[in-house]
């Protein structure tokens, strides 16, 4: 946890356009994990397994200062940088 806190602090010091949070880092890590296991992600249709062409990560995002959470699905987040993912979310 200390390493994660130091990483987030370093990312926020290096750039000022958006504030990186733990949620952004974890969503990016989950996207990379799904990408590494992509051969096992898909659907069974008519008895045959079909791999998913796009991988999506759904994250609950804070709206209006914490009064509501909205689910946001980010498709192919493993192709984005951490800053691009944070901007999208």
Q: Which ranges in the chain belong to alpha helices (H)?
A: 2-14, 22-36, 82-88
Cα–Cα distance measured from residue 37 to residue 69, given in angstroms and rounded to the nearest whole number: 28
For 1-25, the pLDDT digits (tens) are 788 888 888 888 888 888 888 888 9
pTM over 0.85: no
Cβ pair 22, 8 in contact under 8 A: yes
For 46-62, the pLDDT digits (tens) are 999 999 889 999 999 88
């Amino acid at each position: 946890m200390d390493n994660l806190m130091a990483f987030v602090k370093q990312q926020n010091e290096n750039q000022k356009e958006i504030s990186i949070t733990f949620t952004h880092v974890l969503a990016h890590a989950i996207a990379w994990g799904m990408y590494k296991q992509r051969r096992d992600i898909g659907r069974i249709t008519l008895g045959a397994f079909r791999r998913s062409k796009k991988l999506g990560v759904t994250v609950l995002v804070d709206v209006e200062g914490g009064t509501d959470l909205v689910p946001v699905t980010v498709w192919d987040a493993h192709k984005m940088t951490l800053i691009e993912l944070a901007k999208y979310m």
